[in-house]
Amino acid sequence: MIVAHALAGEVDVLAFDIFGTVVDWHGSIVRELAQLQPQVDGDAFARAWRAGYQPAMARVMSGELGWTLIDDLHRIILDGILPQFGLEALDEEARRHLNRAWHRLDPWPEAVAGLQRLKRKYILCSLSNGNLGLLTRMAKRAGLPWDCVLSAEVFRAYKPDPATYLGVARVFDLPPARVMLVAAHHDDLAGARACGLRTAYVERPLEFGAGHVKDVTARPDNDMHTKGLEDLAGQLGC
């Protein structure tokens, strides 16, 4: 008999990081490039696009840019890297379509089944820096069964700003300890933990592709360590 984790009855809401945790951004962007621009190194392109993510958000957090949706930051980054890959001639329609690739990211193989199991017992919501339109279209296409779509856009603050983590607890009128952040990134989990949330790490060794395997060693600071969302569901008694 499988014994559920001690936290199985201690949390009500599971809030999920999305990019890399629930969906495979690297593999999805590589597939998009293979269809649209097969001559381009999709692995390098995907990693270059993602590498611009934190610096772009830092421009907003520093006040250099006003509040900016992730769709718009993705477009700024995209326009900046296109010349590096010989794609500066792409017209506006092609650029817009490519930028929307982030709306079409595929889930990890076990993600949807794991979420469906977890939903039987817990409230599930996204907690992503992605904007509401992006997250909603992604969920619709991929079949992600959220009870609620929450985003940095709702709180007008990017993770790891405390307003995001505490905002989830406020939305559901819960103490922070009744909310668990599920993520494949230790910095995100540390931010949540500092706000009193519970934390579950998800192993995603191939987040950056098979050529750049990520260290997914367990860290004792997290409440839970899982190999995927099906594993999380099992540990939480679903």
Q: What is the pLDDT of residue 113?
A: 98
Angle ∠(141,144,146) on CA atoms, nearest 5: 130
Same-domain check for residues 175 and 188: yes
Total Cβ atoms within 10 A of residue 218: 11
Full-model pTM: 0.95
Measured distance CA(166)–CA(175) in Å, rounded: 9
Q: What is the pLDDT of residue 2?
A: 54
- The pair of three-digit structure tokens given for residue 93, joined into one six-digit string: 């329609």
Same-domain check for residues 97 and 183: no
Residues 6+ apart with CB under 8 A from 12: 122, 123, 172, 174, 178, 179
CATH code, domain carrying 90: 1.10.150.240
Same-domain check for residues 33 and 19: no
Same-domain check for residues 174 and 224: yes
The parent domain of residue 150 ranges over 6-24+107-235
Same-domain check for residues 123 and 219: yes
Q: For residue range 100-149, list pLDDT tens digits in order.
A: 999 999 999 999 999 999 999 999 999 999 999 999 999 999 999 999 99
Number of helical (H) and strand (E) elements in the chain, helices listed first: 11, 6
